[in-house]
Amino acid sequence: MKKPVELPQGALEMLVLKAVSLGPLHGYGILLRIQQISGERLEILQGSFYTAVYRLERRGWIKGKWGESENNRRARFYSLTAAGTRQLKAESAKWIDMAAVVAGILDKKANEI
């Protein structure tokens, strides 16, 4: 098992958007999905997870709806709205760009600078 990674600010919201974009998920489902995609390297249980969900819902990027979970429990399922889709697209492009630039700079060898 690899070392856990600390998330920078704002990244959690993006991850939630990404998790939900693959299909409607309830809260715990989102947690599991993120852990699964990240290869168990993200530890996001502590408090901040639901704060991110509430904020996204408030901004209208995801939409919650009560339904039945796989083990017949009442659970609130979140799905991506049109605005959320646009936001995810824009944010991922930005993030990938930024990460590439930072990584590119850090990868330079001393003789290349």
Determine, following the binding rule CB under 8 A, whether residue 45 of this chain makes contact with another protein. Answer: yes
CA distance 80 to 4: 27
The residue to which tokens 């330079």 are assigned? 108
Pair of tokens at residue 55: 């904020």
Of the residues 10, 23, 51, 94, which one makes contact with another protein according to CB under 8 A: 51
Of the two residues 26 and 107, which places its CB atom closer to another protein in the complex? 26
Determine, following the binding rule CB under 8 A, whether residue 47 of this chain makes contact with another protein. Answer: yes
Of the two residues 6 and 107, which places its CB atom closer to another protein in the complex? 6
Least distance (Å) between residue 29 CB and another protein: 8
CA distance 56 to 63: 8
CA distance 83 to 57: 11
Determine, following the binding rule CB under 8 A, whether residue 33 of this chain makes contact with another protein. Answer: no
Q: How many C-beta atoms surround the C-beta of residue 18 within 10 A?
A: 17
Q: Which residues are near another protein by CB under 8 A?
A: 26-28, 31, 45-47, 49-51, 54-55, 58, 64, 69, 71, 73-76
